[in-house]
Amino acid sequence: MSLLPWQTGKVIRIVNETSNTRRYWIEVPEMKSFDFEPGQFVTLDLPIHEKPARRQRSYSISSWPDGTNVFELVIVLLEGGAGTTWLFNEVKEGDELPFRGPLGKFTLPEPIDRDLFFICTGTGIAPFRSMTHHILNHNISHQNIYLIFGCRKLGDTLYGKELQELSQKVTSFQYIPTYSREVVENQDHLIRTGYVHTIYEEIIQSNGSNMGTSDPTSLRPAYFYLCGWKNMIDEAKQRIQALGYDRKLIHQELYG
């Protein structure tokens, strides 16, 4: 199978989402509609090295297919990262970026006949924002959707207000952020502290499954999608399988 050709995208908007995270809207002028499946990514070719393989950086698409020729990326500035340093310091609205895509098979199951656990850290939320809006916009039949987002502090939250409002409107969708380094003086029950792993374990346990059992008949049907850094994904895979789920139900997109 041959690779998709390189295309030229035009950066039409840049917005700071947090102190070290930016949203980039990229238009594809040569296309009327940039079509992709939620969960896919694009690869950018950045002028940061002579060797092509060391110039390329891949980012999940954080927007959803809407019939336009514009897609969105959310990118975190990595300390010492050549690619993100160049994007943050050099790229301005109106600039062009060579890209290839859409790419990847980290996409929704068909049909969505089980609960979906979207488990992510940092900008790993991008594909799940895309998937969630796509499901709800098109009234795709689904079970419960749990978007469990982990970051350090409240100020690191990505798309927080948007996803919180969406969860208030749609009963089948729960947005659950948790903060590993946030101090909550008033113990606000709406603010979860800790790591993502305790959250999905609590949900599974509270819905009648037997934690620690090897009997798959006692587990609620679910698909698990993981996106973020390797340590989180490795631990999540271990914990989910320890609950009794088959590894075939676990899908992952690794960052870094």
Task: Quote the radius of gyration of the chain (alpha carbons, Å).
Answer: 19
- Asked if 185 and 140 sit in the same domain, the reply is yes
Assess whether pLDDT exceeds 70 at residue 188.
no
- Given a cut of 80, whether residue 189 has pLDDT beyond it is no
At 159, phi and psi to the nearest 5? 60, 25
Please indicate, yes or no, if residue 110 is contained in any of the structural domains: no
Q: Are residues 120 and 179 in the same domain?
A: yes
* 70 plus 156 within the same structural domain: no
Six-digit token pair at 82?
Answer: 């050549």
One domain, residues 122 and 97: no
Q: For position 1, what pLDDT does the model report?
A: 46
In a domain, 219, yes or no: yes
Give the pLDDT confidence score for residue 164 in this predicted structure: 93
Domain count across the chain: 2
pLDDT digits (tens, 9 = 90+) for 131-160: 999 999 999 999 999 999 998 888 889 999
Nearest to 174 by CA among 141, 206, 137, 200: 200
Of the candidates 79, 103, 127, which is a domain's last residue? 103
Residue 152, pLDDT score: 84
Q: Which residues constitute the domain of residue 40?
A: 7-103
Residue 108 within a domain: no
Q: Which of 252, 129, 238, 121 is nearest to 179 (CA)?
A: 121
Residue at 1 is within a domain: no
63 and 22: one domain? yes
* Alpha-carbon span 193 to 187, nearest angstrom: 10
pLDDT at residue 214 is higher than 60: no
Q: Is the pLDDT of residue 254 over 60?
A: yes
Span 75-112, pLDDT tens digits: 999 999 999 999 999 999 999 999 999 999 999 999 99
Q: List, in sequence order, every residue forming a beta bridge with 7; answer none if it has no partner.
A: 99
Residue 238, pLDDT score: 96
CATH of the domain at 212: 3.40.50.80
Handedness of CA 146, 149, 153, 156 (dihedral sign): negative
Quick check: bond before 102 cis, omega within 30?
yes
**Spatial separation of the C-alpha atoms in residues 170 and 180, rounded to whole Å:** 27
DSSP state of 219: S
pLDDT at position 230 is 92
Q: What's the pLDDT tens digit per position in 46-76?
A: 999 988 888 999 999 999 999 999 999 999 9
Q: Give the residues across from 224 on adjacent strands.
A: 117, 250
Check residues 219 and 183 and name the one with the higher pLDDT.
219
Residue 128 pLDDT exceeds 60:
yes
* Mean pLDDT over each residue of the chain, to the nearest integer: 91
In whole angstroms, what is the distance from residue 61 CA to residue 38 CA?
A: 8
Rounded distance between C-alpha atoms, residue 202 and residue 213, angstroms: 15
Task: Clarify whether residues 71 and 92 are in a common domain.
Answer: yes
Cβ partners under 8 Å of residue 255, min gap 6: 122, 123, 124, 227, 228, 229, 230
Going by pLDDT thresholds of 50, 70 and 90, the confidence category of residue 213 is very low
pLDDT at 35 over 80: yes
Q: Are 223 and 249 in contact (CB under 8 A)?
A: yes
- Confidence at 19, pLDDT banded by 50, 70, 90: very high
Strands (E), 70-221: 70-76, 96-103, 115-121, 145-151, 173-179, 192-193
